[in-house]
Amino acid sequence: MVDPEEAKGVKIPLCMLASGDENPEDVEKFKDNLSVDKHVETFKDQVHGWMAARGDLKNERVKSEYERGYGVLLDFYRKHL
């Protein structure tokens, strides 16, 4: 789901919050290929889409990571917008 080569074309700051479904090696290569300010973090126990429609917010762990993930995004946006 992550193509490390695409990172080479990114020209603006990027925040990537990967799930445990993403290949860890691809995520790391993607991060290494970014030449812009970045925050790359993997939420290993979350499924792809956990911050959108696939997050089971009735599950306390998912809800906690969902809230933490949006906190990370807000901090990133405050810094870069």
pLDDT profile of the chain (81 residues), mean per 10: 96 97 97 98 95 90 96 98 93
Dihedral angle, C-alpha 69, 12, 33, 1, nearest 10 °: 50
User: In this predicted structure, what is the pLDDT of residue 55?
Assistant: 86
- 45 by Cβ neighbours in 10 Å (0-12 / 13-18 / 19+) ranks as exposed
User: In this predicted structure, what is the pLDDT of residue 5?
Assistant: 97
Taking the whole predicted model, whether its pTM rises above 0.85 is answered as: yes
Instruction: Kindly state the tokens that stand for 53.
Output: 């429609």
In whole angstroms, give the CA distance from residue 70 to residue 39: 13
